[in-house]
């Protein structure tokens, strides 16, 4: 049993590590997005930083090209671009429009960013302890460092509640800018996220009905097909037929995830060809960076939830197929941090892949898909999941 001081110190350490991982992955995602889209469009993508033929930037460019000559590392040519992007945004002038509501204009990016980070508090990256602190460490010596920040029994409710707050930042940013294009972008985003919140919740509820729990860790273990022991001592395992609603629920959830994160083909809130840059048209410098940080953090959260709920989480195989992995192969039969992050990175790649290949929906088509198609099919999927739960 940890003392209150130990609990606070461990929470600070885990939060620091979690935020550091997010802040490390998000800038790399901006670089990966350029490279992936470049390769899909049969070009090199980002390869160099702006600068002259002499000086620091020129030296970095030469080093990048030297690394790029190595076949295995050719993808990473131009890797310092994401550092240059961060430096550029940090040094840019921070402009607030004359007739904008200054206070709301300033807090809107923060309101958008905080829920994106807070969602990770209940996501289970690994079901147990990753390591134990050596006894020589003050305060936390001998304590385990777990693969999750909190393990609450209402994990899904927390995710849905916190995740829905982010739209307030977008609407406030659009309204406070006192400009027609950001306002239209904010209104679009509000209608879009409210519309797609319903089928997204229904697709997640199918997984909850099948597993019988709202706890992220317990749910991901059960839906991987791993036998679990209940509080009464009974051994339960997901029936294989439950993979059917789980499979369809995954695709419904992923479709709604594109809309919830304002990504192509549902990026109507920041449609460059219609609204200049949408709700963040008037934002510059670090305030603009916070909006981008929130968007990529939301992509990571959507991918992590999909990996945990539908793709087997920390286990190798999705949709309850982990039961077929023999225990004689320890690495494949046991949960691993590599499996979880491998699935997350694959889904992040899908986000980039879709952006490079699909056109943007018209606004009426966006609403039609959500209300006329996704809500009915997710309801049917939920009913099928409930029937399987109470039959098997």
The rounded distance, in Å, linking the Cα atoms of 316 and 331 is 9
Phi, psi of 287 (to 5 degrees): -65, -40
Indicate yes or no: pTM above 0.85: yes
Which parts of the chain register pLDDT below 70?
Answer: 48-57, 72
pLDDT in tens, 303-359: 999 999 999 999 999 999 999 998 888 889 999 999 999 999 999 999 999 999 998
pLDDT in tens, 234-285: 888 999 999 999 999 999 999 999 999 988 899 888 777 777 777 888 888 8
For residue 103, give both structure tokens: 């206070």
Asked if residues 127 and 149 have their Cβ atoms less than 8 Å apart, the reply is no
Token match 């945990």: residue? Answer: 308
The rounded distance, in Å, linking the Cα atoms of 361 and 279 is 18
The rounded distance, in Å, linking the Cα atoms of 320 and 210 is 11
Q: Sketch the domain layout of the chain as residue ranges.
A: 4-45+96-391, 52-91
């Amino acid at each position: 049993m940890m003392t209150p001081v130990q609990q606070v110190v461990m929470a600070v350490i885990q939060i620091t590590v979690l935020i550091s991982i997010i802040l490390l992955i998000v800038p790399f995602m901006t670089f990966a997005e350029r490279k992936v889209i470049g390769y899909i469009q049969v070009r090199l993508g980002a390869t160099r930083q702006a600068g002259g033929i002499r000086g620091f930037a020129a030296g970095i460019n030469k080093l990048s090209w030297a690394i790029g000559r190595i076949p295995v590392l050719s993808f990473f040519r131009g890797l310092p671009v994401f550092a240059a992007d961060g430096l550029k945004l940090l040094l840019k002038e921070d402009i607030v429009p004359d007739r904008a509501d200054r206070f709301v204009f300033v807090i809107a990016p923060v309101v958008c960013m905080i829920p994106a980070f807070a969602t990770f508090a209940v996501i289970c990256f690994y079901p147990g302890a990753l390591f134990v602190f050596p006894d020589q460490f003050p305060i936390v010596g001998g304590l385990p460092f777990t693969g999750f920040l909190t393990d609450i029994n209402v994990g899904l409710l927390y995710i849905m509640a916190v995740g829905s707050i982010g739209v307030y930042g977008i609407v406030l940013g659009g309204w406070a800018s006192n400009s027609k294009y950001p306002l239209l972008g904010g209104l679009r985003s509000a209608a879009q996220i409210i519309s797609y919140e319903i089928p997204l919740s229904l697709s997640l509820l199918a997984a909850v009905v099948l597993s019988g729990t709202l706890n992220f860790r317990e749910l991901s273990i059960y839906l991987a097909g791993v036998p679990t022991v209940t509080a009464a001592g009974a051994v339960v395992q997901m029936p294989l037929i439950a993979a059917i609603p789980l499979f369809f629920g995954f695709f419904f959830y992923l479709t709604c995830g594109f809309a919830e994160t304002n990504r192509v083909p549902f990026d109507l809130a920041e449609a460059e060809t219609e609204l200049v840059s949408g709700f963040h048209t008037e934002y510059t410098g670090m305030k603009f960076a916070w909006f981008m940080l929130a968007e990529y953090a939301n992509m990571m959260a959507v991918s992590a939830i999909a990996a945990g709920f539908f793709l087997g989480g920390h286990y190798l195989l999705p949709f309850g197929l982990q039961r077929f992995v023999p225990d004689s192969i320890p690495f494949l039969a046991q949960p691993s941090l590599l499996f979880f992050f491998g699935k997350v990175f694959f889904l992040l790649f899908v986000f980039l892949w879709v952006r490079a290949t699909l056109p943007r929906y018209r606004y009426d088509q966006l609403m039609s898909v959500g209300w006329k198609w996704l809500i009915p099919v997710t309801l049917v999927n939920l009913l099928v999941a409930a029937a399987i739960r109470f039959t098997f």
